[in-house]
């Protein structure tokens, strides 16, 4: 075999790489969704839950839970709308504005690290993925 790797050794090596590099994918995705939500609130201020949900293409219950997290984190302020007390008005706090204005933390993500590879290295990875995708189940 090329490089002397057995299928068992390659599988073990691949599993370790996934654990090492893929572990941050969920966190990176959550941060991206949080930034998208903050940006929507900022663009629509004073925003309602339904307006934000429509802007980010998600359901109002999910957005309500996400906004709760942002309120607890001090990024969003939620107050009764003075024109309609049954409706809540969402506004970014100063900390929320800073979070939207700051550059994304993408460089620590797998995507950020992959973006620093040469085109030939990306193509080699792509070829490896194509081979893995063809493996029988």
What would the pLDDT profile of 65-100 be if each residue is shown by its tens digit? 999 999 999 999 999 978 887 888 999 999 999 988
What would the pLDDT profile of 96-132 be if each residue is shown by its tens digit? 999 888 876 545 566 667 778 888 988 888 888 888 8
Rounded Cα gap, residues 112 and 115, in angstroms: 5
- CA angle (126, 106, 92) in 5-degree steps: 140
Give me the architecture of the 25-103 domain, per CATH: Orthogonal Bundle (1.10)
User: Could you tell me the maximum CA-CA distance found in the chain, to the nearest angstrom?
Assistant: 73
The strand pair at 84-92 and 76-81 is best described as: antiparallel
Q: Quick check: 62 pLDDT over 80? A: yes
Q: Which residue did the predictor score with more confidence, 48 or 83?
A: 48
**Mean pLDDT, to the nearest integer, of 30-54?**
91
Q: Binning pLDDT at 50, 70 and 90, where does residue 1 land?
A: very low
β-sheet bridge partners, residue 84: 81
Rounded Cα gap, residues 56 and 79, in angstroms: 21
Report domain extents, the chain. Answer: 25-103
What would the pLDDT profile of 14-33 be if each residue is shown by its tens digit? 766 666 666 556 666 777 78
Q: How many CB atoms lie within 10 A of CB 112?
A: 14
Secondary structure of residue 53 in the 3-state scheme:
helix
Against a cut of 0.75, is the pTM above it?
Answer: no
């Amino acid at each position: 075999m090329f490089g002397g790797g057995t299928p068992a050794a390659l599988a073990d090596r691949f599993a370790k790489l996934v654990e090492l590099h893929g572990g941050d994918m969920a966190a990176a995705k959550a941060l991206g969704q949080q930034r998208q939500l903050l940006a929507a609130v900022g663009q629509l201020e004073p925003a309602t839950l339904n307006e934000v949900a429509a802007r980010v293409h998600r359901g109002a219950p999910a957005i309500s839970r996400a906004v709760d997290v942002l309120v607890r984190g001090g990024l969003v302020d939620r107050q009764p709308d003075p024109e309609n007390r049954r409706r809540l008005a969402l506004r970014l706090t100063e900390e929320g504005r800073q979070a939207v204005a700051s550059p994304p933390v993408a460089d620590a993500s797998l995507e950020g690290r992959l973006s620093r590879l040469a085109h030939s290295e990306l193509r080699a990875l792509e070829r490896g993925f194509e081979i893995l995708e063809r493996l029988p189940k």
